Amino acid sequence: MDAFHAMTVFVAVAEAESFAGGARRLKMSPPAVTRAVSALEERLGVRLFTRTTRVVRVTDAGARYLEDARRIIAEMAEAEAAAAGINAAPRGQLSVTAPVLFGRLYVMPVIAEYQAAFEQTSVSALFVDRVVSFLDEGMDVGIRIGQLPDSSLRAIRVGRVRRVVVGAPAYLERYGIPQTPNDLAGHRLVAASGLSPTNDWSFHRAGETVRVRVQPCITVNTNDGALAAACQGYGLTRVLSYQAAPQLASGELKTVLTDYEGDGLPVHVIHREGRNGPAKVRSFVDLAVDRLRANKALN
């Protein structure tokens, strides 16, 4: 007799505490169930049940076997669900979150590509510069920048970004290039309050941290606004490297104080589902990881 089938019969009888009850659950005849259990006991060489006229109870050996049998049956069901899910077409509503500028620059292209490939899906994107609660706000996938706290969420690292100080070539030609963080005291500065709520800028070099209290001439609440001011030559600003990547690539901005950027911050794709999660989540995570890892601005 098939070992897995015999194990299934044993579990049904043990949970029903009855051969007749196990037979009804499995839609088998009581004699067939009795024969299956007897054959299993003979093969294992132990008695699995104590039988009385009123009830059937597992023995000590049967209790240990029941625990293992339940686990094996559950793992088999998970394996079959995972295999079936590989071929399932993604469908349904998918909720994605990311920081505002990261979402616009790097996540929206992934969403567009994903939705074009899987037309039976719809995507809701929440781009905000705060930590979103997956459970409370119903998110499926997110992008997090920075060190992750201990969490039940699954995380896949896709890159790293740095805090960079940038300025327009015309500004640097007129005011000069700062060589150390302390030189910022002699420059016009534009601060993005969303990136740093204080006027203390931290720099890192050779394992040492240098903190400088800056006096911005312009403070704006968005990174877009700070970058726009820097591009127009109003002063130097400090943002994350991915935020200024388009302007650095075009030559509108240049980085300064590169020796003080430090190791940077990790970028992760996070999600709640495991390997048996919905096809819509697995497909989006796979696509996002592939596209973000290939992006030079994040590596």
Q: ∠ at Cα 35 (12, 77), nearest 5°?
A: 35
Secondary-structure percent of the chain, ordered helix, strand, coil, rounded to 5 = 45, 25, 30
Residue 84 has pLDDT above 70, yes or no: no
DSSP state at residue 237:
E
Average pLDDT over residues 107-117: 96
Residue 155's Cβ-count burial label (10 Å; 0-12, 13-18, 19+) is: middle
Question: Are 195 and 224 contacting, i.e. CB atoms less than 8 angstroms apart?
Answer: no
**Beta-bridge partners for 270:** 142, 155
**Beta-bridge partners for 284:** none
Residue 156 or 138, more confident:
156
**pTM recorded for the entire structure:** 0.66
Tell me which amino acid residue 100 is: V
List of long-range contacts for 241-244, beta carbons under 8 Å, 24+ apart: 241/161, 241/162, 241/163, 241/164, 241/297, 242/101, 242/102, 242/105, 242/106, 242/161, 242/267, 242/297, 242/298, 243/101, 243/102, 243/105, 244/164, 244/166
Per residue in 147-176, pLDDT (tens digit) is 887 667 889 999 999 999 999 999 999 999
Got the DSSP string for 247-281?
Answer: HHHHTS-EEE-GGGB-S-EEEEEEES--TTS-HHH
Structure tokens at 211: 């903190």
Taken in order of first residue, the domains within the chain and their CATH numbers are: 3-86 (1.10.10.10), 92-161+265-298 (3.40.190.10), 163-260 (3.40.190.290)
The SS3 assignment for 68 reads: helix
**Average pLDDT score, the chain:** 88
Per residue in 40-64, pLDDT (tens digit) is 999 999 999 988 777 888 999 999 9
Share of the chain above pLDDT 70, in %: 92
The predicted pLDDT at position 81 comes to 62
d(CA 106, CA 192): 20
The SS3 assignment for 297 reads: helix
Residues 6+ apart with CB under 8 A from 81: 276
Residue 151's Cβ-count burial label (10 Å; 0-12, 13-18, 19+) is: exposed
Q: ∠ at Cα 196 (247, 145), nearest 5°?
A: 70
Range with top average pLDDT, 54-63, 172-181, 202-211: 172-181
Residue 197 or 227, more confident:
227
d(CA 293, CA 269): 10
Q: What is the dihedral of CA 138, 140, 146, 148, to 10 degrees?
A: 80
DSSP state at residue 107:
I
The predicted pLDDT at position 2 comes to 81
**Beta-bridge partners for 261:** 204
